[in-house]
Amino acid sequence: MPEGHTIHRLALDYRRLSGPVRVSSPQGKFSDAAQLIDGAPLTRTEAHGKHLFLGFRDSDWVHIHLGLFGKVTFGDAPAPPGTDTVRLRLADTASYADLRGPTTCALITDAEKHAVHARLGPDPLRADADPDAAYQKISRSRTTVAALLMDQKVIAGVGNVYRAEVLFRHGIDPCRAGREITPAEWDAVWADLVALMREGVRNNRIDTVRPEHTPEAMGRPPRVDDHGGEVYVYRRAALPCHICGTEIRTVDLAARNLFWCPGCQKR
């Protein structure tokens, strides 16, 4: 479930590993690099958008991007035998962490890490984030706001779920151009992303439904959205909107599914 909140949560969870860390690649694809840092202390962890950085010693970094399929599982020692899908295993005396299916898992330098930060937009989950930097790009763009929110150079960490949900929560038609988004709208969207994504880190899942719209509050039967969180529109195509009852629509946009409510999100 890799949007930005997942990565920031992983940055926190990886800190359970301390002392000298055994680094290996049961699958083999990361073996050479793993050897170089095997036994080194994990000194810090950091996330920017969907990029995760594990810092070893002073200036060695393991750069991880989960892509669509990547997953990390943590467990208590002893670790089970590694399988041919475990790209990276970290283990100390108490626990282990297995990484599978990442798009990226590479040993990089400080300079290479800087380059990654430099090409990413502000991340609502980072203290150093500047929302105006994102609005500078959005307010000058003829591209749809739906596409801009997914562009990691514009804003880092938002994925297909947060995109759909934050646009719904602010009644913004996803087809509006970036240049049509007002400063007040952007301020509200950004503040909302900060709050939603922080909650996502805490709960390790995406919930976006306001208390007054929960099934209990609306006097409807309880529901379970099929991806593990409570949402308004994501993957709810053809189902009635929780608020206005209009059928949620979906369209294939740049190879991703966009969901929105035509009743609540008008131009």
Q: Which residues are catalytic?
A: 2-3, 50, 256
Provide the token pair at 253.
């946009």
Nearest to 182 by CA among 129, 148, 121, 138: 138
CB of 67 to DNA, least distance (A): 4
**Interface residue with DNA, options 41, 101, 215, 263 (CB under 7 A):** 101
For DNA, the closer CB: 42 or 98: 98
- Quick one: CA torsion of 105, 57, 9, 7, rounded to 10 degrees? -30
Q: Which of residues 174-233 bind DNA (CB under 7 A)?
A: 206, 227-228
For DNA, the closer CB: 40 or 175: 175
**Interface residue with DNA, options 49, 122, 174, 178 (CB under 7 A):** 49
- Residue 141-170 contact track with DNA, rule CB under 7 A, x = bound: ---------x-x------xxx---------
Nearest to 105 by CA among 64, 55, 61, 52: 64
Nearest to 49 by CA among 153, 157, 137, 152: 157
Nearest to 42 by CA among 30, 24, 53, 54: 54
**Interface residue with DNA, options 31, 46, 60, 65 (CB under 7 A):** 65
Q: What are the percentages of helix, strand and coil residues in the chain, rounded to 5?
A: 30, 25, 45
Per DSSP, 106 falls in state E
Q: What angle do CA 34, 117, 200 make, to 5 degrees?
A: 85
CB of 247 to DNA, least distance (A): 17
6 is a site residue for DNA (CB under 7 A): yes
54 is a site residue for DNA (CB under 7 A): no
**Interface residue with DNA, options 24, 25, 27, 208 (CB under 7 A):** 27
Interface residue list for DNA (CB under 7 A): 1-3, 6, 27, 49-50, 65-71, 85, 87, 100-101, 103, 150, 152, 159-161, 206, 227-228, 235, 254-257
